[in-house]
Each structure stands twice: as C-alpha cells, then as structure tokens.
C-alpha cells in the first residue's frame, strides 16, 4: 500500500494535505506543482501497516530535494538523487546547506521518481548518501 500526504506553508500557516491511500500519479504531481514555494510531500510504502520505505520531497521556490528512506533490519538507509549536471557546491535550501547535486528544478524528473515509487515502493536511480 502507498500512502500520500504532506504540508505546505501559506501566509505564515502550515496547511496539511489530506492523507490518501494508493494515490494516482496525477494527484501527487498536481500537489507538488501547487506547493511550489515551500512544503514537503511524502509517499509511504507499507505492508500490513509496517513502513517499508518513504519517499520525501522537500519543495522550496520550485526546487525539489527528494530522498528515500528504506527500513532495514539494523536501521535506515537514506538515498538521494545525484544530479550529474549540477556542480558539487553547497547551496541554501529551506534554511540549510545541501549539495547542489541533491537538488533539481526538473519537475518531469520528480514525476518519474514518484511514478517509480508508486509502482514499486522504491526508486532505483537514487544513490546512498
């Protein structure tokens, strides 16, 4: 089962997205495009109410930082994108400094990541960070 939710900031308030089960990709992408300025969406893959993995996408000013947390017996593995086209400098993102290789402005790329997660519960193109 895939669950989808998140939140965004608007006029100084935090607006919670309703939790949805087994969302259609178009709903996820529409939410990402709507948020644009500041927010986080999450897709959770679970089996028998046990969380297996979670794809989170932080959104700030039409920039996206996705990361995938996978639960393993001895902890959590965190993966992110490796944007080869970006330089490896640190950049400000949501008040913190992150490698620019982990951030993209390509909404099509983010849509593809979401589609793969919805279909499989993982994202093969993400690398361990």
For the segment 105-117, the average pLDDT, to the nearest whole number, is 94
Rounded alpha-carbon distances, angstroms, from residue 22 to 5, 25, 47? 11, 9, 12
Strand spans (E) along the chain: 2-10, 13-21, 38-47, 50-60, 63-72, 75-80, 90-93, 96-99, 127-128
Calpha distance 87→68 (Å, rounded): 22
Predicted confidence at residue 85, as pLDDT, reads 59
Query: What ranges do the domains of the chain cover?
Result: 2-128
Look up the pTM and report it.
0.88
**pLDDT tier, 84 (very low <50, low <70, confident <90, very high otherwise):** low
**pLDDT tens readout for residues 49-80:** 788 999 999 999 999 999 999 988 888 988 88
Q: Output the average pLDDT for the chain.
A: 90
DSSP conformational letter for 25 = H
């Amino acid at each position: 089962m895939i669950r989808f939710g998140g939140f965004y900031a608007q006029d100084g308030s935090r607006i919670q997205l309703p939790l949805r089960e087994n969302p259609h990709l178009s709903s996820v992408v529409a939410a990402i495009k709507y948020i644009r300025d500041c927010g986080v969406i999450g897709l959770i893959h679970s089996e028998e109410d046990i969380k297996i993995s979670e794809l989170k996408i932080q959104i700030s000013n039409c920039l996206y930082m996705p990361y995938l947390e996978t639960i393993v017996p001895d902890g959590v593995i965190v993966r992110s994108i490796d944007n080869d086209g970006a330089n490896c400098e640190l950049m400000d993102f949501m008040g913190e400094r992150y490698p620019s290789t982990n951030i993209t402005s390509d909404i099509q790329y983010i849509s593809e990541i979401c589609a793969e997660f919805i279909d499989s519960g993982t994202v093969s193109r993400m690398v361990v960070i």
